[in-house]
Amino acid sequence: MDPRSVVPSARTPEDNAYTILRTLVCPWTEDRLDPLLLGFLFHAADTLRLYLASSEVPDGVVAVDTRPSGALTALLAALPSLITESYRYAEPDPHSIRLVDLTDW
């Protein structure tokens, strides 16, 4: 079979989640990582919860709900400022001081 004739498969939410995680762990920058990824959890079918530490939120861990099927590039670029917007806050889980809902972003 000729490799050029193979049709690539569609991206899955898991592929997109991997993109989010890889970008947060290994960004194309020499600066200190901020926010720093501490952990993650597949929270629902299309919801990835990120646990982050940020200099913008010095009092603890921030949980961020994202939708891997959404606009990843824009989300990752805006993440440092989005986690400080108080109108996005939801009830935190036991592992964080605040939860930021970015599933509709």
The pLDDT, as a whole number, for residue 96 is 93
Residue 4 covered by a domain: no
Please, which pLDDT band fits residue 23 given cuts at 50, 70 and 90? confident
72 belongs to a structural domain: yes
Of residues 15 and 100, which shows the higher confidence score? 100
Confidence (pLDDT) at 29: 62
Tell whether 68 is covered by a domain.
Answer: yes
Q: Is 20 inside any structural domain?
A: yes
pLDDT of residue 4: 87
Higher confidence at residue 49 or residue 105?
49
pLDDT in the model for residue 28: 62
Whether 5 is covered by a domain: the verdict is: no
- pLDDT exceeds cutoff 80 at 1: no
Q: Which domain holds residue 63?
A: 11-101
Q: Based on the structure, what is the number of domains in the chain?
A: 1
Q: Is residue 49 part of a domain?
A: yes
What pLDDT is attached to residue 31? 65
Euclidean distance between CA atoms 71 and 69, whole angstroms: 7
Q: What Å distances lie between residue 41 and 28, 29, 66, 99, 102, CA to CA?
A: 24, 25, 11, 13, 15
The answer to whether residue 35 is domain-embedded is yes
Assigned domain for 74 exists: yes
Q: In what order do the strands lie in the sheet with 89-90?
A: 36-44, 47-54, 57-66, 98-101, 89-90
Write the DSSP symbol of residue 58: E
- pLDDT score of 49 more than 90: yes
Query: What is the distance between the alpha carbons of residues 54 and 46, in angstroms, rounded to a whole number?
Result: 24
pLDDT digits (tens, 9 = 90+) for 58-74: 788 999 998 888 777 78
Phi, psi of 104 (to 5 degrees): -100, 5
